[in-house]
Structure 1
Amino acid sequence: MAVVAAGLLTSCGGGAASDDSGGSHGARTGTGTPSSSASPERVAPRTQLSVPSLYDTSRGWESDLPGTQIPLPHSGAVAVFREGGRNNGTFTVLDVTSGQSLWKTEVKGPGIVSAFSATVNGKDYLVAAASGAKGADVVSKGREVTTIDIFPARATGDNVAPAHHLELDGDGAVSDGGSGLLASFDEDVVMTVDPATGATKTYDLKKMKPPASECKLCFASTEAVAVTPRGPLLATNTQPRRHYWVPGVWSGGTLTTDSENKLFIAPVEDSLVAQWRDKGAPNDTWAVLDPATGKVRARVDCAPDQRVTADDSKGASLSADGRYLVRSHTAFDLDKGTGHCFEETDQDKPVHLTGVTDTGVAFGIGASTADQADPRVTIDLATGQVQLGDYVVAPFGDYSGYGLFWDDSTNTMVTYPHAK
């Protein structure tokens, strides 16, 4: 595999955004239309949603730019990625406090372009990746390549160039691995990418066997499931609970007294969430791990739950300041090293957590009743107290003093500030 280019970030300045709403509504970004110059501190978005009382719906802004919304919590921004029809797409990045466009650029690839964000060491990056044939024509099939374009989340102007452009040999799949990007090319070869520098490192999984003391009978193939600061996190077989290790650094067997040493571990940004049960223990242990060392940062014991699936981290969320982490029915305070369980027990109904703010206010969905389906709740993580909420829509992001919401009925992103 070869990296063809890795360039420095360049950008050009852009002018102030113009008003498309006559100044009578909050800032609104439309298809191909810049943000309103109206101040979100003084006017209400025209779209009014039922949201938690933490937010002031009399102020804010909204955007109907088509595409996928990508929160950038450490950059005070939110990106909208619109996939194009000819192996291309467009990033538009908006300031979360005003809705004004910060920068915009088009990305192209040899195949369908996918986009996502990655956060490493407190810095956000936007990533566009694609795989396909390069140089194909009526005679030649060309060669299979994978391209990766990496942008710092905070830039200015139009036609912003990527900080790093990588062109790798082979048909690969690129994803956010936690502490870096993870590119998988076949069953045996993976590559890690540092989004800050564009540096790559290739690993041959056939040569990376688990510690013999933990996995004497492992015959299944090895898979890379995350990126840590000290190499890829590897696992055997395809089950949610399995053997995990970072070659030459740490392994999951040091976490539990169970001789089988089978755990569940999944990345949540640049942290790892883990579950295991010690030998003879009545409860499961849930924990947040330091990916560099495998040491426990926070933990809590919960009633046994056998419904863990391999993609169980998809609903997980980390507060913008990195203190609180929620995942399914668990919540952690990483500063205090503690956690709360909201799983179903003989006495309690389950609560599924969907997000959390820097102040430790978590949002979730409780068990349905005869009177109310999927009731919304809020949770004070300082006390673990659950309260029935009077809202319908929870934020998909909360940072810089604003909550980001999505309105399905109008395909509109709406942003409200915290109530003063």
Structure 2
Amino acid sequence: MRQRVVRLTLVAGVTVLALLLLVAMCGGGGKGDGSDGPGSAGGSDGSGGPTPASGAAPGAAPATRLTVPPSYDTGRGWDIAGVSPDYALAATAGTVASLERSGADRFRLRTLDYATGKPRWTGAPWRPLFAADRYPDRFPGLLSVTKGAAEYVATWSYGKLEPRGTTPSDSVVSLDVYDAADGSRRHVEVPWSGDPTVSADGPGILITDGRATSAVVDPADGSVTKVPQSKLGYPKDCPGCRRLTEVRGVTAKGLLVGGDGGFWVRGGWSSRTVAPAGADPATGKAASTAAGYVLAKWQRPKSAKDAATHEIWALHDASTGKAVARVSCRKPAIEPGDDPRLLASPGGHFLIAGRLAFDVDARTGRCFEEPDGTAPLTLTAVTDYGTAYGAKNALSVPEAAAGSGIPFSVDLAAGTPEALAANVRLPVGEAAGVGLFRWTDARDVPHLTGYPERG
């Protein structure tokens, strides 16, 4: 009898413990249960509004102190774990946004004050248009968009609204556009056939097929503008521009388009009329855009003595096409597959792209490499004070940020790189006095950590 009582007591104890664990795992309910229901392609719990964010106490130093450049204070800052590879910044709102998983097949957007680490708003859970439970390492796209004085954060995914759909019209690019200040959301669906390329380096969200087909989503009202290839406004002085046509970006004046032998802004200026000094006007190629500027590559005239060895990189005002700064660089022995992406400091005074750096106020450009073109310095981030960070002998910006190569810092005014300790982790971005660092812990959990600059 005594043994039976003991067994019953043990069973009861195990049952109570299991119930406690179940309650702990389920939490307090709320919006985290994915209440948008099955089959939803995106959106919120039905209200369309944000839910409160949760996080560590503001100002508390992250438990793990990374080895970073000495200009950052690791005794202060913040850390968020389990986040997406991408993040989005809103400078005026003072927020950094990241995506996190919310259950097996849903995600939600989380924001915090990048100066203090204090939580801001958190979006309601939503389901992307791909089977998130089958792709545990995949996240929806995340973009930051600025139009005028307004700032937005956008998430996107691509797929079929109806899993059994068989026609191209069944596929859409699904976007949720959030106001960066308060988290209010607008949902937009754009019918699309084929894998899209989605970007937001200008005042609109650009969707392209990598060639001449495009759609632009206005973040303010969700309206969608499509321009057929026949209406791209080909320049009359560039007969080759009708070949290899590619929509490259969105400017405040219109689409940025490139072709064989030039690039132009639809309804605005053409590259052949804005070539920088020392460049062949018929060779312009737009590389990337950021902060109201276009980065372009130009060839030297065939008559120039260095035409075979050097090329010109110029920073152009996206509104007028006028070259703001230029620099001559060695041609690489092997052309990279992708053009360098233009990145701006928080205030927009300095811009970097691979081995290139530009000072807009001083109207100067620099190319960080040895005179023979070897040992290029691949830059990952730049501050408003003109300090840039990068690594020599890294093949790309992601590799440099991940620890490949030899880390350096450089004062863009002086132009002399200074080697950092070999184990220093480089920032992947700068948020108005806060350096952003990505890393993965021993459990393969990705982190985004912010350290303030020392006073």
| Aligned-partner Cα distance in 1 for 2:297–2:165 | 53
CA separation of 1:119 and 1:107: change in aligned 2, threshold 3 A: farther
- Report the CA distance between 1:373 and its aligned residue: 7.3
| Aligned-partner Cα distance in 2 for 1:186–1:54 | 40
Corresponding residue for residue 31 of structure 1: none
Deviations 1:91-114 (A, max 9, x none): 111221232321111234444643
Q: Is the 8 A contact 2:245 2:258 kept in 1?
A: yes
Corresponding residue for residue 353 of structure 1: 379
**Among candidates 320, 336, 340, match of residue 366 of structure 2:** 340
| Aligned-partner Cα distance in 2 for 1:247–1:142 | 28
CA separation of 1:259 and 1:286: change in aligned 2, threshold 3 A: closer
**Among candidates 333, 353, 356, match of residue 327 of structure 1:** 353
Q: Is the 8 A contact 1:333 1:339 kept in 2?
A: yes
Q: Is the 8 A contact 1:329 1:342 kept in 2?
A: yes
CA separation of 1:401 and 1:278: change in aligned 2, threshold 3 A: same
**Among candidates 201, 204, 214, match of residue 190 of structure 1:** 214
Q: What RMSD in Å do the two structures reach over aligned CA positions?
A: 3.3
TM-score normalised by length of structure 1? 0.79
| Aligned-partner Cα distance in 1 for 2:221–2:231 | 27
Q: Over alpha carbons, which structure has the higher Rg? A: 2
Corresponding residue for residue 122 of structure 2: 104
Deviations 1:327-368 (A, max 9, x none): 111110111211111123238742111110111000011249
CA separation of 1:299 and 1:137: change in aligned 2, threshold 3 A: closer
| Aligned-partner Cα distance in 1 for 2:238–2:102 | 47
Name stretches of at least 5 consecutive residues in structure 1 with no aligned partner.
18-33
Matched, 1:253 2:272: yes
Matched, 1:416 2:448: no
Matched, 1:405 2:440: no
Corresponding residue for residue 312 of structure 1: 339
**Among candidates 380, 383, 389, match of residue 363 of structure 1:** 389
Q: What code does the residue aligned with 1:414 have?
A: T
Corresponding residue for residue 29 of structure 1: none
Higher relative contact order (CA 8 A, sep 6+): 1
**Among candidates 273, 282, 285, match of residue 263 of structure 1:** 285
Q: Is the 8 A contact 1:289 1:298 kept in 2?
A: yes
In the TM superposition, 1:75-154 aligns within 5 A as: 75-82=93-100, 88-105=106-123, 106-111=125-130, 113-121=140-148, 123-135=150-162, 143-154=170-181
Three-state SS of the structure 2 residue aligned to 1:253 is: helix
Three-state SS of the structure 2 residue aligned to 1:67 is: coil
More helix by share: 2
| Aligned-partner Cα distance in 2 for 1:73–1:13 | 19
Q: What code does the residue aligned with 1:247 have?
A: R
Corresponding residue for residue 397 of structure 2: none
CA separation of 1:170 and 1:303: change in aligned 2, threshold 3 A: closer
What is the aligned length? 378
| Aligned-partner Cα distance in 2 for 1:96–1:244 | 37
- Report the CA distance between 1:219 and its aligned residue: 5.7
Three-state SS of the structure 1 residue aligned to 2:146 is: strand
| Aligned-partner Cα distance in 2 for 1:169–1:365 | 41
Corresponding residue for residue 419 of structure 2: 388
Corresponding residue for residue 171 of structure 1: 193
Q: Is the 8 A contact 2:77 2:451 kept in 1?
A: yes
Deviations 1:241-275 (A, max 9, x none): x4212233111212335263342432235421112
Corresponding residue for residue 317 of structure 2: 290
Matched, 1:375 2:406: yes
Deviations 1:267-302 (A, max 9, x none): 235421112123134342222111122111222233
Q: Is the 8 A contact 1:129 1:174 kept in 2?
A: no
Q: What code does the residue aligned with 1:107 have?
A: W
- Report the CA distance between 1:125 and its aligned residue: 1.9
TM-score normalised by length of structure 2? 0.73
Corresponding residue for residue 202 of structure 1: 226
- Report the CA distance between 1:308 and its aligned residue: 4.7
Q: What code does the residue aligned with 1:265 have?
A: A
- Report the CA distance between 1:152 and its aligned residue: 1.9
| Aligned-partner Cα distance in 2 for 1:385–1:141 | 53
Name stretches of at least 5 consecutive residues in structure 2 with no aligned partner.
1-42, 132-139, 395-402
